[in-house]
Structures are given as C-alpha cells and as structure tokens.
Structure 1
Amino acid sequence: MTQFVAPGATVGIIGGGVAAYELARAASHFGMKTVVLTPQAEDIALQAADYGIVGSARDVHAFMELRDRSTIITYINESVADGDMLADNLNSAQLPSGTDILAFTQDRYLEKVFLEDQKLNVLPYGQVITPDDIEKVLMTIGYPSVIKPIQKAVGADQQLILRSDVDVWRAKSLLQKRPYILEAWLDKPRTLSVLCVKSSRGLQVLPLVETRQDHENFRGAVVPAQVDGSVLIEVLRIAEKLGNKIDYTGIFSVEFFLTAEGSLYVKKVAPGMRLSGDILRAVGRSSQYALHMRAILGWPVPTLQIEGSAVMLPLTADNVDAVNTQIQLKDKWRWQFFPQGNTLRGELSVPGPLRDAFAALDATGAFDVDGLTYVQQLDSEGDN
C-alpha cells in the first residue's frame, strides 16, 4: 500500500515542459513543496517549482541532489528517467510509481515483446541491428513500414518510413550504430488513448479519447471517442489487464491504432501524463495531474465523474490573434495558458455536442480541427 504523505512534504519531479509545470502546480494545491529536475535552464516547469535543478536525470550529481531534497519522487514519462538509477538509489516509499513500467516502456522492442506476452494485438515488427537486417525483417513485414531507434528517448527525426527499395537504400545510409525496430506502418489510422490511474485502492479507467497527431506533434483530441461498442469493450479489457499486470502507482496511458476495417492494435503503454489527457478537465471535475498526485501521495483517488463531450486543441504562436478575438466572444470555451518560453502557448477546450463544437471552431476560420474527418465519424457512429 502506498505510504501516506502529509502536506508540507517535498515532491521531486523528473522532467520538464507542460507536464512537469502542471504537476508542480497540482502538488502545490495539495500543500506540497516541489523540486523539478530538467535539462533546460529556461524550462517553464521551473517557474512552478519551489526549487529547480538544471541537469540530466542520468547525471549522478543532479539526481542525488534531487533525491536529498525530496520526500518522494515521480517522473513525467518513460523517456526522462534512468530506470536503473532510480531502482538502485530509491526505495518504494521514495518512488511510489516504481520502475516496473520503465523496464519495458523505455525500449520499443521489449514493449512489443511484453504486449505479445499478454496476448495483445500489435503491429508486425522485427529488430534491426545491422543494415542487412532491414531486408530480412521486410520479408516478413513488407511495405509500408517504419524504422525507429529502439530507445524511446531518441527523437522522431531518427525515424524513417519505408515504402520502396529506394527508402531501404536511404535507411541503410542513415543508420547509426544503435539498435532499431522495424514495424508495419498504417496509413491514416485512427489513434485512441485511454488514461488509467492506479492507486492502492485499485484501478480506474478514464474515458476513451481520440487524438490527432502530426508525426510527434499533438494536434487535438476528442472525448468521448466515437467508436463501436465492441471496440470500447476491448479497450477497457486491455486497459484493465495491463493495469492489473503492471506494478505501478499513478497515471499511465494505453494508446491504440484503429483501422478502417475495425482492427485494433495496441500502440504503446506509457507512464505519466499525456497532453491529450488535458481534455478531461473540460468534462470532469479534476485533472490527470491531480489524480496522479493523489495516487503517489497515498491519498484517496475519487471516481472521475464525466459530463458531456468536448474537443481540445493546442494553442501556438500562430493562434494568438484568433485567441484574443474568441476569448471576447465565447463565454463557454475553456482556455488554459502556459508561461512564455514553451512552444505550446496553451490549450482550448470546447465543451458540448461534438457536431456543434466542430461547427463553432470551423466557423472561426482560425483553427485546424480536421473537422470533416470527425463529422464523417459522427455520421457513421452516431452523434454525441
């Protein structure tokens, strides 16, 4: 059972950006002090922290300072922490979330193996160590496919889609000396995500969200996702199975691909908060950050009551003029802003029936919502 942490303690947060900024703010609402460890001196998360440490989580001196200043420590996702360093230097009371989930989520190949061991449907894949391995794996997978570094901490700029022998030749010339994974590629699948919060009192699966991604860039989210009932039942089954299997405390997500033919594939499992999860604030009375904080502090986690539906969009510098105009016109639109210095300026959530929300956003002529695609889904699945 997670140890109860009383107000006045210090929460150490590994990682930066919006997630760490919001998590530090949530911690302060529970009466906690915060220490943020991030490699960027200008990171916005430092503005919300009581104390900041600039450095890598894999730097021993920076990590030890974080440990010595913190009552408990949490990490914002699987890419920011060194699982071995955490396991070697922290006990379960200091690290409520543990490292079990990091053992497979930091490595794309191990993640696939783990999911297959749970008898879950994943896209065909293979490991690539040398350039010659590409053709061997392609004999099984075929085109199109995508090659990625096995370690998730390596960025999207190291990924390459293979559609022909010409792309294979390019991949061989660009391949660096690190292991890769080659997996089948789906053109324009629907992407679904479900957040779960696990605490000493059990597992809570939150509403299914549909997201829009442009490579690694978040473009929007819709809740609830408009899917067939059989898909929703399978998502819930998978989320509960994984939640019961993983030794973990806090928020984690399970992401899926859904094809036009109705095939559902598990895309990934990830500890910590996701931008798409912020949409829950528009339809619930809490946030993913507050739920995560309650879980790791050993406080009771309430059942999130969901009311209605919503569309959420990220706000960037390109939206500034439109945002300033719409703030004065839309009294029911919900705005969330972040300090300057972050690429993401904020988030806009539009609650209400999805068809009405998309129509209102489209009418502004200022927000890219992929509205036509969603309207087609509403026509086929039934309006919310």
Structure 2
Amino acid sequence: MKVKESSETKVAEKVIFPSSTIGVIGNSPNGIELVRKAKQMGFKVAAYGSNAESPTLREADLAIVGRGNDQLQLQKFAERCDLVIYESEQVSSESIKFIQRFTNVPQGSEALELMQDRLLERAFFEQINVNIAPYSTIVSLDDIYQAISSIGFPCVLKPIQKGLMHNSQFILRKQSDVAKCAELVEQGTFVLESWVPYEREISIVMVREQSGTMRFLAPLETFYQVHHLNQVVGPAKVADQIWDELKNIASQIGDNLNYVGVMEIGFFLTQSQAIYVKRIVPALHESGYIYQYISNVSLEEEQIRAAVNMPVVTSKVIQQAAIGFFQEKDQQSIKTQWVLKDNWFYHFFRYPASMLPQSKSGFVAITADDGYEAKGQLDSTGIWDEKQPTEEKSED
C-alpha cells in the first residue's frame, strides 16, 4: 500500500538545493548579477546567450553559445539545468516555450509571451478590467484616420511586437501627422494609443512565490527620456490610498498570470490621481538595481529564492537613494564626479567591444536622507539633462 505523501514532502520535492545547476538565459546586465548571486548561494550555473564574450557567459560555470532560435543548443543547455531563469523581458518567449520541454522554467512562458505582444498585453488588461490608455489596432493608414476620431490627439503609434523596429514609435499631434505614418504602417501591425497626460510614473516591484503569495517591495518613481529609463528614486513618495490601490491592481495582475519570480508593473499617475497601467515586466528590470542601496534585499536573490522554492526575504527599507543611468559619452563627466562625491556609488556594465554600442554603460547611485534630494544631486551635474540616447530602443 502506497503511503500518502504529506504536504511537507511535496513541497520538499520541489525545492532546488545547492550544488544543483541553475540556467540563466539572456544577454543583459541582469544576467551576470544573477550568475554571481547563484554561485554565492552554492549553485552551479550554466548560461546561454548569443555572444561568447558576454559577461554573463564568462562568469558562468558552463557557457553555451547559440541564437535564440537554435533548438539544438537550447536543448543542450536545458538538459544541463535543474531549472532555468530568463534574466530580462527581451528573451524570446518562443525560446522559453521550447526549453520548457526539457527542464523547469518557474517563470513560465505565458507572461513573457503576453507582454512581448502589445495586442495580447492589452487584451489581457481588458480581460481583468484594469485601466489602460484607449487604443486601436492599426494595419493600414485608413485605420489611423478612423481611430483618431475616438482616440484623439496626441496619440502614439507603436508596433505590436516590443523590441522590434526600434525607431518605429511615432507621436501624432495633429491631423497632418497621419500621412507621415504611411511607410511605417506598411511594415506590420501597430497599435494606436491615446497619450495619457500623466504627472508621474510609479513602479511596483513584487515577488510571486510558487504558492501564489505576493511580496511587495518599496514603490519606485521612474523617469524616462526618449523611451529610455534615465533615473529612479526610491522609495517613491506615494499617498497611502494610492499605494493601496496600486497593490490591489498588482495583486489582480499577479493572480491572473502563471508566473513565479520578480515582476515589475509600471503605472501612470495623472494630476487628478487617476491610475493607468503602463506595462508589465515579467523579469528583472534595471530600475530594480536601486533596491541593493535602499533595502535589505537584492532582486537577484529574490528571483533565485522564488525559483528554487526558498522562503522569500521580507523587504525592509533601510535608506533612500536615487540612481542615474549614464552612456559611454558621459564618461568624462562621470570622472569629474568620481573625485568630488563621497556618497556616489558607481556600477559599470563592462560590455565587450563585440556587444557595443549599448544604450547604457552603467549607473550611479546616490544615497541621502531623501531620495528626491539625491535626484537633485544628479540633476545639478547636467549629465542627466534631456538628451538623445545613443541607441533608439524603446522600453515600452
């Protein structure tokens, strides 16, 4: 007679212990931090990416080089891993679906697939009844003319696939701008989205455990320039009732996604305190680098803990800070601050020449009694003034 397994035994079977192999797939700076943290926690690490010189692959115990659609190499990678973590939202959801045939991917592929396609993403938001900007599907120039009557000006034309056609977002401010989109819409399917007159952008970062429990970290305020994340302040100053509503929306989203690990949800907040969901990142996001300066946790460790079914650390704020991302052309200005500031902390991504150019070379973190005061220190240098990034890759 087979003995009935206890719930404790079932949970224990799902736990991944040190000396097991964790796979990390992707090429962003998140990867090397994940690899380092996993090794520190006693795991062996295999890494998969398209460039043998990637810092992530060089840091791993086992490096497997292959393109995102190289099924032979993906299978080889997956079969060497007890589980796989994708380190950014840029990893192909099709690659993750293939890997799932051979090993466990706690994050799953569903959330990644939804959030890489703007139409699927918006359909998901509508299904769970969260507030988003009005939009319309565009396949021809006539569709834009028809949609304008309900969406109005200003509005933004975006390709449905995130990460593709990097220069293809276009803001329409008046009727004559529509004709300028003629060549653009011939390249594929787009969404035309109403411009939300937001006053602030607030991000919630949460960790969803395998049990479905969600742990919230301190809110962040994010500042973008030309679709690129420029600065982050944490913790964000948010009224209690707004914070409670943001957590409610985030919980609703988390409950409806088959996802385990760190997730960031971005919100627009208008002057009248109306809340719009901007985007979901079902992976580590660069805004989360600030947590190592303001709290007792690192997102990399939280991601690993959730994936291997360890208890997730309860996050506590220990100080306030701001971070500012810099580019290669800012290096001389950064050197000036290097010899002047005793509360500036520097993080360089150190890409090899074969992976350049990149939109960001690293970031500076400033700790202070008030995170917005720290942002003021960044602003006073002029390094983070409005400017055109070196690479036009949209973050949404």
Please state how far the C-alpha of 1:238 moved relative to its aligned partner. 0.8
Tell me what 2:59 maps to.
48
Which region of structure 1 is more displaced relative to structure 2, 332-341 or 203-212?
332-341
Establish whether residue 186 from structure 1 lines up as the match of residue 203 from structure 2: no
Tell me what 2:309 maps to.
298
Please state how far the C-alpha of 1:67 moved relative to its aligned partner. 1.1
Classify the secondary structure of the residue corresponding to 1:238. Answer: helix
Q: Is the 8 A contact 1:14 1:57 kept in 2?
A: no
- Structure 1's 157 and 338: CA in aligned 2 closer, same or farther, altered over 3 A? same
Match of 1:349 among 365, 381, 390: 365
Establish whether residue 175 from structure 1 lines up as the match of residue 185 from structure 2: yes
Please state how far the C-alpha of 1:169 moved relative to its aligned partner. 1.0
Please state how far the C-alpha of 1:188 moved relative to its aligned partner. 6.2
Residues 323-345 of structure 1: CA distance to partner in whole angstroms, max 9, x if unpaired?
33434443333322322436333
Establish whether residue 119 from structure 1 lines up as the match of residue 132 from structure 2: no
Distance in 2 (CA, whole Å) between partners of 1:264 and 1:92 is 41
> What stretches of structure 1 of length at least 5 have no aligned partner?
371-384
Q: Is the 8 A contact 2:233 2:375 kept in 1?
A: no
Please state how far the C-alpha of 1:234 moved relative to its aligned partner. 1.3
- Structure 1's 233 and 178: CA in aligned 2 closer, same or farther, altered over 3 A? same
Q: Is the 8 A contact 1:16 1:36 kept in 2?
A: no
Q: 1:190 is aligned with what amino acid?
A: R
Please state how far the C-alpha of 1:78 moved relative to its aligned partner. 3.3
Tell me what 1:227 maps to.
238
Residues 228-274 of structure 1: CA distance to partner in whole angstroms, max 9, x if unpaired?
33322211111122122222111111111112232210011121111
Q: Is the 8 A contact 1:75 1:81 kept in 2?
A: no
Distance in 2 (CA, whole Å) between partners of 1:330 and 1:29 is 31
Q: Is the 8 A contact 1:37 1:57 kept in 2?
A: no
Distance in 2 (CA, whole Å) between partners of 1:186 and 1:155 is 23
Q: 1:24 is aligned with what amino acid?
A: V
Aligned 1:85-234 pairs, distance under 5 A: 85-87=95-97, 89-90=99-100, 94-186=104-196, 189-201=199-211, 202-234=213-245
Classify the secondary structure of the residue corresponding to 1:181. Answer: strand
Q: Is the 8 A contact 1:14 1:81 kept in 2?
A: no
Please state how far the C-alpha of 1:61 moved relative to its aligned partner. 1.9
Establish whether residue 31 from structure 1 lines up as the match of residue 42 from structure 2: yes
TM-score by length of 1: 0.88
Q: 2:59 is aligned with what amino acid?
A: A
> What stretches of structure 2 of length at least 5 have no aligned partner?
1-10, 387-396
- Structure 1's 188 and 262: CA in aligned 2 closer, same or farther, altered over 3 A? closer
Please state how far the C-alpha of 1:174 moved relative to its aligned partner. 2.1
Tell me what 1:339 maps to.
350
Q: Is the 8 A contact 1:358 1:369 kept in 2?
A: no
Establish whether residue 368 from structure 1 lines up as the match of residue 378 from structure 2: no
Distance in 1 (CA, whole Å) between partners of 2:177 and 2:65 is 40
- Structure 1's 57 and 358: CA in aligned 2 closer, same or farther, altered over 3 A? closer
- Structure 1's 138 and 294: CA in aligned 2 closer, same or farther, altered over 3 A? same
- Structure 1's 165 and 340: CA in aligned 2 closer, same or farther, altered over 3 A? same
Q: Is the 8 A contact 1:162 1:168 kept in 2?
A: yes
Q: Is the 8 A contact 1:12 1:70 kept in 2?
A: yes
Give identity over the alignment, percent: 29
TM-score by length of 2: 0.85
Please state how far the C-alpha of 1:16 moved relative to its aligned partner. 0.7
Number of paired residues?
368
- Structure 1's 92 and 54: CA in aligned 2 closer, same or farther, altered over 3 A? closer
